[in-house]
Amino acid sequence: MKDEYKMTIGLEIHAELKTKSKMFCGCINLPEEKSPNIYICPICMGHPGTLPVINKEAVKKVLLVGTALGSEIADFTEFDRKNYFYPDIPKGYQISQYKNPLVKGGSLVGVEITRVHLEEDTARSSHETPDMSLVDYNRAGVPLMELVTEPVIHSSEKAVEFAKEFQLLLQYLGVSDANMEKGEMRVEVNLSVSKTEDFGTKVEVKNINSFRAVGKAIDFEFDRQTTLLEKGEEVVQETRGWDENKEITFSQRLKESAHDYRYFEDPDLPKLIISEIPEFSKEELKKLLVELPEEKRKRLTNDFSLKPEDVEIYVGDREIGKFFESVAEGLSTYGAGIIKTASNYITSDILGLSKALGKYFTLEKITKENFIKLILMINKGNLSSRGAKDILKIMFETGGDPEIIANEKGLIQKNNTEEIKLMAEKILKENPMVVEEYKKGKESSLQFFIGQGMKETKGSINPEILKKIILELLQK
Ligand code: ADP
Ligand code: MG
Ligand code: ZN
């Protein structure tokens, strides 16, 4: 039975760091550049006789990530050579870190982290042209951070949660844009299944380029591995690729072990004693920390008692979060209820209008001041919710002051009770039969009266007040 197996997952996540120059040379760090091979030099092309120089900014960014993860920052650290041949690694080795990574330990969303180290990205190869392969070295030597987790994840949901939270963390810290579609962040999944306390044989899955694919690849591997074991066959320790179209993993190569790479310390680079470098001190790094996603989640929840879905929207997209917070500040003297109303109009209406334009979030012509004014009008009961939505749409498309728009379109609801009372009396007088029915117990007649009132006034009165007055008149 497949559900007798426990699945164990460890993640390896690579992220390209957003630094001005490459990891070991002065070339511009712009891997998305379309013209091939323009940001290259003898160092990142691996020419003999050239010497690499460590990019301080890249080291600092990894240390900052370690600080945010509550990790141990190395005192002694060094770079190693990972030897293998492939056209995308012109030196015949990748400079990476093996024995002494910059960062060890720490945790995120309850997942323990093994290490975070720094290495260089490889060139980009393409095999799409018939009869030849092309290599673009713009990406060769771009600073690449690698995070490795402990094998402590047991579901695809948790794995995806971790990867998403790590992406947010990198974006908040400004160390990487971590866009998975662009390959700025790459997730590799190590997965094994076992019926006992012991680990099963692990398989590594590469080339996963979306969070959705992370989940799918995990589910596929769990199924594949348990099927093999149920048939009495064995899981082979190997590296598999993810086929995005077929939604399957496929065998790429047998897994090489660390000793295959003949790791050794790179003699071209100096060892680093982090404690001797003033700008890498704990105090200096702490100064660079910003509010982290989890802290923001807690603060928004505590301060505004928002729905968790709304909080997630503001944490996940900092631009919307910023807009919400500026609106909340503008409304701070009006109490918590109105801020929740404002939040609803942002997360349902403005996001809906944005989506219709094919965007995730855009204010178009809405200004913060006009938005706040609209929310205040809604709060006073001057607008029906339909009316408010119509005005917001006009503000979005053509801009303008909600009060002026509401007057122009006749959308202001009247709260003047005297006027509403006259209207209510008129409706009851014109419909004696319905009044009779109501008095005999037909409660739905009330809705009829309100409907009549809204129709006659073209929705310009407040239905709540109308309802209250009709009820009072019917009591008589
Ligand atoms: P390798 O040297 O083969 O790359 P590591 O020990 O460095 O292996 O681990 C790589 C990743 O695999 C880590 O994220 C680790 O948590 C994970 N891992 C290790 N053993 C297992 C296992 N039995 N099942 C699932 N993941 C594992
Ligand atoms: Mg590995
Ligand atoms: Zn270069």
Q: What is the pLDDT of residues 285-318, one digit of tens each?
A: 999 999 999 999 999 999 998 999 999 999 999 9
Cα dihedral: 372, 376, 381, 383 (round 10): -30
Give the distance (Å) from ligand 2 centre to CA of residue 308: 36
Amino acid sitting at position 302 = N
CA of 297 to the centre of ligand 1 (A): 31
The helix/strand/coil state of 27 is coil
**From the CB of 250, is ligand 1 less than 6 Å away?**
no
Q: How far is the CA of 243 from the centre of ligand 1 (A)?
A: 22
How would residue 418 be classed by pLDDT, with cut points 50, 70 and 90?
A: confident
* Residue 225 confidence (pLDDT): 97
Sign of CA dihedral 326, 329, 334, 337: positive
User: Residue 419: how many CB atoms within 10 A of its CB?
Assistant: 13
Q: What is the pLDDT of residue 259?
A: 79
Residues 180 and 242 in one domain: yes
Q: Is 154 in the pocket of ligand 1 (CB under 6 A)?
A: no
Closest CA to 169 of 262, 68, 88: 68
User: Is the Cβ atom of 11 under 6 angstroms away from ligand 1?
Assistant: yes
Q: What percent of the chain has pLDDT over 70?
A: 100
* Number of helices and strands in the chain (H, E): 16, 17
10 Cβ inside 6 Å of ligand 1: yes
Indicate the pairing of strand 6-16 with strand 143-149.
Answer: antiparallel
Same domain for 302 and 371?
yes
**Model confidence at 99, in pLDDT bands (50, 70, 90)?**
very high
Answer whether 261's CB lies under 8 Å from 82's CB: yes
Asked if 24 contacts 95 with a C-beta cutoff of 8 angstroms, the reply is yes
C-alpha of residue 9 to centroid of ligand 1, in Å: 8
Do residues 33 and 53 both lie within one domain?
Answer: yes
Which ligand is closest to the CA of 147, given by its number?
Answer: 1
Res. 419: pLDDT tops 80:
no
Helix, strand, coil percent content, the chain, rounded in steps of 5: 45, 20, 35
What is the spatial distance between Cα 458 and Cα 435, in angstroms, rounded to a whole number? Answer: 23
**pLDDT surpasses 80 at 413:** no
**What residues make up the domain containing 305?**
293-408
> What is the CA(261)–ligand 2 centre distance, in A?
12
The sign of the CA dihedral 269, 271, 274, 279 is negative
58 in the same domain as 92: yes
Same domain, 439 and 331: no
Last residue of a domain, one of 408, 439, 454: 408
Question: Per-residue pLDDT for 327 more than 80?
Answer: yes
d(CA 459, CA 469): 16
Record the tokens describing residue 459, joined without a space.
Answer: 């929705």
For residue 5, the CA-to-ligand 1 centroid distance in Å is 18
Structural domains counted in the chain: 3
**Nearest ligand, measured from the Cα of 6:** 1
Same domain, yes or no: 63 and 197: yes
Backbone angles phi, psi at 108, to 5 degrees: -150, 135
- Provide the CATH number for the domain around residue 426: 1.10.10.410
Is 345 found in the same domain as 209?
A: no
Residue 274 has pLDDT above 80, yes or no: yes
Q: Any idea which ligand is nearest the CA of 90?
A: 3
CB of 197 within 6 A of ligand 1: the answer is no
Output the pLDDT for position 455.
84
Q: Whose CA is nearest to atom 11 of ligand 1?
A: 10
Closest ligand, as measured to the CA of 101: 1
Closest atom of ligand 1 to CA, residue 201: 23
Q: How far does residue 97's CA lie from ligand 2's centre (Å)?
A: 12
> Distance between CA atoms of 291 and 315, rounded to whole angstroms?
11
- The answer to whether residue 6 scores a pLDDT higher than 80 is yes
276 and 132 in one domain?
Answer: yes
User: What are the beta bridge partners of residue 118?
Assistant: 145
Q: Are residues 80 and 188 in the same domain?
A: yes
Domain boundary among the residues 287, 320, 341 is at 287
Cβ neighbours around 2 below 10 Å, total: 12
Round the average pLDDT of the chain to a whole number and report it: 94
Separation CA 63–CA 54 (nearest Å): 14
Per-residue pLDDT for 168 more than 80?
Answer: yes
Selection from 340-344, 385-389, 450-454 with the highest mean pLDDT: 340-344
Q: Which residue has the higher pLDDT, 217 or 470?
A: 217
Q: Domain boundary residue among 381, 408, 435?
A: 408
Ligand 1 centroid to Cα of residue 10, in Å, is: 6
Judge if the beta carbon of residue 150 lies within 6 A of ligand 1. yes
Return the percentage of the chain with pLDDT > 90, whole number.
80
Band (pLDDT 50/70/90 cuts) for residue 465 is confident
Q: Quick one: how far is CA 238 from the chain centroid?
A: 31
For a pocket test of ligand 1, which of 80, 190, 263 has the largest count of ligand atoms closer than 8 A to its C-beta?
190
